[in-house]
Structure 1
Amino acid sequence: MSKTPTPADGASLDDDVRGIQFETADTGITIVDGIERRRDHLGTDPVVEPTPVPTDRLVAPVDSAVRLYADRVEADPNIVMVRDDSFDMIDHLTEGTEREYPPGRYVVDVSGPIKQYLQVDGRLSVSTDEGTVIEVGDDAEALLGARSKHDRPATEITVPPTTDGLVRAVSTFGAALKMTTPDRSWPGHRGHPPAVTVGDELDVPRGLAPPCPEVQVLVPPEERYVYPVAPLVYYLGAELVPHQGPPQIRTDAGFEYDLQRSGEGFETRVERTLKQVLFLECCLRSEGLVELPLHERSAVAEDLPTDSAELFDRPAQVRLPAYLSVEYETIAPHIPDWELAAHLAPRPEQAELLPHLVNDLAVVRTTTEDGGVDPTELSTPEPTVNEAVTDDAAPEDEDASFEDFFRSAGTDIGDGWTVENSVDLRDGGSDALETVWSGKGVPVGASKATKQAYENRYSRQPDPPPIDVGVVCNDDSMSEELDVTELYDGEKLPMNVSTYRNLSQAGLRTLVEAEDVDFLHYIGHAEPDGLHCADGTLSFAEIGGTETEAFLLNACRSFDQGRALIEAGAIGGVVTLQPVPINSAAEVGKRVAGLLNIGYPLRVAVDVVDEATRTGSQYQIVGDGGHAVAQRDSGGAFVHEVTPVDGDLSTASEYCLQVQGHPSENGIGGVFHPHRDDFGYYLIGNTTPRVRLDREPLIDFLCQTSEPVIVKSDEDVDKALRASDRLAERL
C-alpha cells in the first residue's frame, strides 16, 4: 500500500494563506509559518540562499519547497525518521546514533515546531549525538519542504434547524480524515471537519461523504443522541443513520454493537467506544507510517487481537469487530487522559460549535441520563470570600482593610457575591484536561466555549513574528508584578514586550483596538462594569473590535471582560470568577505567564497551576483553551513530578521522577519521549512509570529545558511548582 499521506482538504490554499517562507540567516536557513506564527532554524554549511522549487518534486506532502546547496544541515531534534522514495520508513534514529546510507532517494523528517522534510538524492549520513547532523554527498541534491500545522475547516455546510439536517452534517465529518487505516490515530492525519452554519436550507458541497460508509452509527434523530456520537462518527469515517431503535454500530458485514446497555448509559458507552478504538489503533499503527516502540502496546500486548499485524491493512468493517472484542477494563488503565470534554445544550444552534469540538475528539455530553449535565438541574454555587481564602492566605496585618486583601476595589467584598446565572460543573464527571460549557449561564469549574472564539482563530491573517506582549499595571500597589516582563523572553520566538502603568480608559481602549498587542496581561482591579483605569473603568463590551489574540486578566471577577474580548475578536484567555487574594493572584499570574511563555496552551497552563496551587482553581478559560501564545518546539507540554526518596528536597541523594505529557500541538494520539534512556515512547495524556535517579543524573535531566516540575515533598508545600532549570540550580 502507498504510505504517502495525502494533504488535508484545503491544503492547496494560496501561499499567502499558508504563510510558509524560507529566509537566509547568518548560520543557515530560517523557516517561518506566518499563520501559526512559528519559526525554526536549520544550520547549513555553507550558508545558503534557498532556491524555490515546485512542491511536487518532494515525496512528502508540503506547502512550500526550496533547494539547498549545502553539504551539511543541522537541526535541533535528536529523534529522526528516515524514509525511502515511497515514503516508507526505513530507519528510526534516537539520540546518540550514527548511520550512513548508500546512494538513493531519502526523506529525512527534521520537524520541530514546523513540519519539515529534507529530501536527499544521493549519499546520506545522519548523526544524532547532540542534535541532528545530516551530511550529503558531493553529487547529492537536497530539497527542503515544509508545511503549516495549521488546521482549519476546508469547507462549510449549511443545515436547517432540524435533526435531519444535523444528521446529514455529522455524516460528512469523516470526509476530513486523511486516511482510514490505523494511522488516522496520529493527530496530523485527521483534518478539521467542515464548518456548520444553521440556516434555512440544506447546502452540502459535492463530494463530502463518509469515507467508510460500510460502517454505520444508528441513533434516534434527537440532539441528545446525535451530539455525543459526533466525534465517534467522525473518527470511524462512518455514516450516521437516523434510527428509532436502540443506539448501535452496524457494519455491512453484519456486525452489531450496542451503544447503550444495562449498567452503562449511552454517553458513557459512546465515550468508551471512541477511546477504545483510537487507543487500539495507536497500538497497531507501528505496522504503518511510523514504527515506534510504543510503551502502551507492550503493556497491552496480550490483550490485542491475535492477528494485529494483518489487521492493519484490513477494511474498517473488519478491524472494528476485532477492536470491540477486547474488554474495555483490560486496557482502561493505559488509555491516556483525554484533552477535552464538552457539555452542549441539546438545541439546534449548538451544531455550529460541534465541528470544532469534534476536531479535538472531545467527549460530548448533553443530559443527566447517564452522567451528563442537565442544564435545567444545574446548581447555582455561592462562592463566598471564605471559599476563596485559605488559612495561610489570611492578611498578616489584622488591622488591614479586608478589601485591600483582595484584587478588587469594590465595597461588596465578603458579601457572598455570586455570578448571575452561574452553573456548577465542578462535579461534572469529567477527567479531561479541560471541560467546556457552551450553554447559557456562566460555568463554574469549566471553561466557557463559544463558536466566536474558534472563528476568530481561523479568520486571523498571516502575521509573522515577533509576538507583541502588552503588560498593563493599573494599580501602583501591584507594580512589583511588572517583573513578569522578564518571563516573556521569546527564546524560541521573538517577542516585543511593552509595559504600561495607570492607563486611562482611552489608553487601554487604544491598546486593544489598534493592533498594538497580541497578548494582553492585565494587572489590576475589575468591577461589574469594566476594568479599572486611571480615570474610571473601561468595559471591553464597548470596544469596536480587537486584534489581541489572547489575554490574562489578573483581576477579581474578570470573566465578563474576558468574554467581551472574545466577542470583540480575541481567541482565548484566562480570567477569574471570584475574589482572589492579592498575594495569591500575583503568584498565580507569574506562574501562568511563565507557562504561556514556553508555549503551553491556555488549558494546560491553567491545569498545571490548578494542580500545584491552592488558588489556581479560581482561574478559568474563556474561548479556545487550545490556543498557545508562544512557540513550543516539541509536540507536547510536559509536567515533571520529582519526589525525594531518602530525605527532603535539598538533602536527598535519590529521587523518583515521572513525566506526564499534556496535549500541545500534538493532540490525542500523539507521542512523547522524555530524553533519557530510562524512558520509552508514551501516548500524549499518559504518565511515564516512575524511575529512580541519583542527584547528578536528575540535575542533568532537569537542565535540558525549562519546564514545570511539581515537587512532591513536605518541604515548601505551598511552592511545589518549580521551573526545571531553576530546580536544577537549587539542587
Structure 2
Amino acid sequence: MSVLGSSIKEFTPERSWPTLRGYPPRIERGDTLDVPSPLTVSDTGVEVVVRPTYEDVYRLSTLSYYLGARMTTGDAPAIRLDNGYEERLPTEGRPLEERVTELLKTWFFLDTLARMEGYIPSDRHAYEAVGSSLPFYPPNLADRTMSERLMEYFEVDHETVSPHLPAWPTEAVLRPAPAAAELLPHLAHFLAPIRVRGNSILSAPHERLALATAVPTHGQPSAAHSDVDNVPDVTADPIPSWSSAISSVAYDNDLHRTPPDHGDLNVVFLIRSADRAQGVRNVLTSPSVPDGIGIFSVLEAPEAETVRDVWSGSSADLVYSDLPIEDGHLVAADGPVTLPSTGRPGRPSEQNGPAVSIFEGSRDVDIGFDALSRGGVAAAFLDRPFALDQIRTAITLLASVGAPLNTTLSVASGAEPPSVRFAGNASMSVVPPTTPVIELVFVESKSVSSHELTLGTPITPASWVGGEYNVSPDFLDKRARLIGYGISATHEVTSEEVAGVAEEPETVLFLNGELVPPGGDLTAEDVEISARSVDSNAEPPNFRHCE
C-alpha cells in the first residue's frame, strides 16, 4: 500500500491535476510479497497509521495514495506528520469512513485552490465564494512542505468547502476479503472513498465482493437517483439502482483495450421482435446514422449460435440487447444461450469482446460478468425498455460524443428513467470523447422567446477529477470551474442565445428534453417551435433535421 503513490509525479498541490497522478501500480495476490524495484515509498513526511486489518487498510487506502504516505500499523488509526503532529482518527468503522472521506475531499479541493498561481494559472470561480472563510491564502502554501500544508488544512471544516466540491466520480463498498485488495489501485485512481461492509465470505449467489456508486457526475438532479444510498448494500438482491458490481478485470480490460477511432464504432442490436427491429433500423437511419458509427447491425430474433458469436467471436464494440434473460442466460429464438468458458477467471481477458453491453428488462447483473470475462469493460441493465428515440439518443451520446455510459443512460432516459444497474466501470466511454470537456446544456422554455439554461460537465476518462474548464457560452461567467461542477442556477436566455450554444463544439444541448444533434444547425426559429410545442402540449419537434 505504501508504494501506490509512486505513480504521482510530484506532491505539491499540483498533484490535484489528474495528469500528474498517473495510474497506481496494480496489486495481484500471491504467496509472497514482491514489489518491483522501480516502486518506492514517496518521501512526503506523512504516515497513515492503520490497525493490521483489511477494514482499516481498505478504508484508508485512497487517502494514503493521494498523500503519498507510508502506511504503517499501530493501535489506532491516525495521520502522523514529520513535524511531530499526530491526528487521531475515529476507531469505529463508520465514523472512520466519514472522517477519512471528509479529509480526502477537503484536502483535494484546497490543493486545487493552492495551485491557482501554479503551472496553469486560473481565476477560480469557487475562490470568490470560499476564500473569505479560509484562514490562509491558498497559493501561499504551494511551496510549503506537505506537513506544513496539512497543518493549515486541518483548520478548515469540511462544511466550508462541501458546497463547492465537484461531483465525485464514485464511492465504493468492499468486503473485508483479501480478493478485494486488487480493486484498491483502480479505486485510488478514481480517488474513490472506500467503505467496508459485510464479512469476507459471500454466503449467497447474489452477494457481491464490491460495489461502487454509478450516479452520473454531470451535476444535474434526476429522479433516477432518488433511491441511491450513499453506501450500496453488498448483500442486496438486486443491487441498488445506479450502483455497479465491480471487478478488477473490468478496469484491467479498459487499460489494455484499444478503443475504436471516431467513425469506426461497430454496434450490434439483438432484438427479439420483427416490429421493434424495424423500428430500431428506422430510428438509427432517419435522416442519417449518428456520427461516429462505422457499422451497425440489427439482428432480428437471433439464434443461440449467433448470440454466442457476438460475445465470443465478433468485432462488436457495443451491444444492445432486448432478448429475455432467464436464470442468468440470454434466451435466443431457439433457446437459452450458454457462452463457452474463457478459462481465465479473475484475469484480464485475452478475448476482444464488446467493450459495452446494454441489456433491457433485467435487474440481475450476473450475465454482465460473462461479458467482462470476454474483454468487456462495462455492462448496463435497464429494468424496462427504452423508447426508440431514447435508444437513438443513447447511441448518439456514446458514439458521437464519447459520453460516459452512466451519464448517457441518465440523460437519454428522460423525465421518468428506468432503474439502471451496472457491472464493471460504469463511467467508461466506449469511444474517446470528441472534446476534452463535454458540456451538457439543458434548456427549458418558459415562453416562446424566454428559456432557462443549466449546465453541467461529466467527468470522463479524458477530463478526470481535478481538471478545470471555462464555460463556452459567452453570456455565462467565464471563471474556471472544476470539471464535475456545473452551473446549478438557471440562467434566462433568448432563442438566439440558445441557437448560439448549439454551435459550440463542447456542448451537448437538450432542448425541452430533446437532444439537438451535436454540431447541428439549430436556428432561433427551431427553438421557438420547440417552445410552442411545450406551451400547447403538442408533440415535440424532431431535431434530427439539424444534422
Same fold, judged at TM 0.5 (above): yes
CA offsets 1:449-468 (integer angstroms, 9 cap, x no match): 11111122233358666222
- Aligned counterpart for 2:508 among listed residues 707, 714, 721: 707
Q: 1:344·1:438 contact (CA, 8 Å) conserved in 2?
A: no
Aligned-pair distance for 1:511?
2.9
Task: Please give the TM-score of this superposition, normalised by the length of structure 1.
Answer: 0.62
Q: Are residue 638 (structure 1) and residue 469 (structure 2) matched?
A: no
Q: Are residue 443 (structure 1) and residue 443 (structure 2) matched?
A: no
Unmatched tracts of structure 2, length 5 or more: 218-227, 344-350, 529-547
Determine the C-alpha separation between the residues in 2 that align with 1:616 and 1:209: 47
Aligned residues: 495
Q: What's the RMSD between the two structures over aligned residues?
A: 3.4
Task: Please give the TM-score of this superposition, normalised by the length of structure 2.
Answer: 0.81
SS of equivalent to 2:379: strand
Aligned match of 1:325: 155
- Aligned counterpart for 1:626 among listed residues 404, 413, 427: 427
Aligned match of 1:722: 515
Aligned match of 1:657: 453
What are the equivalent positions in structure 2 for 1:23-422 lying under 5 Å apart? 170-245=1-76, 247-260=77-90, 265-367=95-197, 374=198, 421=206
Determine the C-alpha separation between the residues in 2 that align with 1:429 and 1:624: 10
SS of equivalent to 2:239: strand
- Aligned counterpart for 1:668 among listed residues 465, 473, 482: 465
- Aligned counterpart for 1:603 among listed residues 406, 416, 436: 406
Q: Are residue 679 (structure 1) and residue 482 (structure 2) matched?
A: no
Say if 1:710 and 1:377 are closer, same or farther in 2 by CA, change over 3 A.
farther
Aligned-pair distance for 1:252?
0.8
Aligned match of 2:539: none
Q: Could you say which structure has the larger radius of gyration? A: 1
Aligned match of 1:3: none
Determine the C-alpha separation between the residues in 2 that align with 1:661 and 1:284: 22
Which has the larger strand fraction? 1
- Residue type of the partner of 1:600? A
Say if 1:195 and 1:436 are closer, same or farther in 2 by CA, change over 3 A.
farther
Determine the C-alpha separation between the residues in 2 that align with 1:438 and 1:460: 31
Aligned-pair distance for 1:600?
0.8
- Aligned counterpart for 2:498 among listed residues 662, 681, 698: 698
Q: 1:356·1:454 contact (CA, 8 Å) conserved in 2?
A: yes
SS of equivalent to 1:566: helix
Unmatched tracts of structure 1, length 5 or more: 1-169, 368-373, 381-418, 712-719
CA offsets 1:411-431 (integer angstroms, 9 cap, x no match): xxxxxxxx97368x99x9997
Which has the larger helix fraction? 2
Q: 2:270·2:320 contact (CA, 8 Å) conserved in 1?
A: yes
Determine the C-alpha separation between the residues in 2 that align with 1:530 and 1:212: 51
Aligned match of 1:471: 269
Aligned match of 2:223: none
- Residue type of the partner of 2:418? G
Say if 1:463 and 1:296 are closer, same or farther in 2 by CA, change over 3 A.
same
SS of equivalent to 1:657: strand
- Residue type of the partner of 1:324? F
Aligned-pair distance for 1:590?
3.6
Determine the C-alpha separation between the residues in 1 that align with 2:453 and 2:309: 48
Aligned match of 1:102: none
SS of equivalent to 2:453: strand
Q: 2:269·2:297 contact (CA, 8 Å) conserved in 1?
A: yes
Say if 1:623 and 1:316 are closer, same or farther in 2 by CA, change over 3 A.
same
Q: 1:521·1:551 contact (CA, 8 Å) conserved in 2?
A: yes
Say if 1:335 and 1:206 are closer, same or farther in 2 by CA, change over 3 A.
same
Q: 1:185·1:278 contact (CA, 8 Å) conserved in 2?
A: yes
SS of equivalent to 2:473: coil
- Residue type of the partner of 1:223? Y
Q: 2:440·2:457 contact (CA, 8 Å) conserved in 1?
A: yes
Aligned-pair distance for 1:235?
0.7
Determine the C-alpha separation between the residues in 1 that align with 2:112 and 2:105: 10
Aligned match of 2:354: 548
Aligned match of 2:543: none
Aligned match of 1:523: 322
Determine the C-alpha separation between the residues in 2 that align with 1:587 and 1:462: 26
Aligned-pair distance for 1:436?
9.1
SS of equivalent to 1:635: coil
Aligned-pair distance for 1:585?
5.3
Aligned match of 1:25: none
CA offsets 1:543-568 (integer angstroms, 9 cap, x no match): 78552221222344563332211122
Determine the C-alpha separation between the residues in 1 that align with 2:443 and 2:397: 18
Report percent identity of matched pairs.
26
SS of equivalent to 1:443: coil
Aligned match of 2:225: none
- Residue type of the partner of 1:571? V
Q: Which has the higher contact order (CA 8 A, sep 6+)?
A: 2
Aligned-pair distance for 1:593?
2.3
Aligned-pair distance for 1:293?
1.4
Say if 1:588 and 1:431 are closer, same or farther in 2 by CA, change over 3 A.
closer
Q: Are residue 460 (structure 1) and residue 261 (structure 2) matched?
A: no
SS of equivalent to 1:254: coil
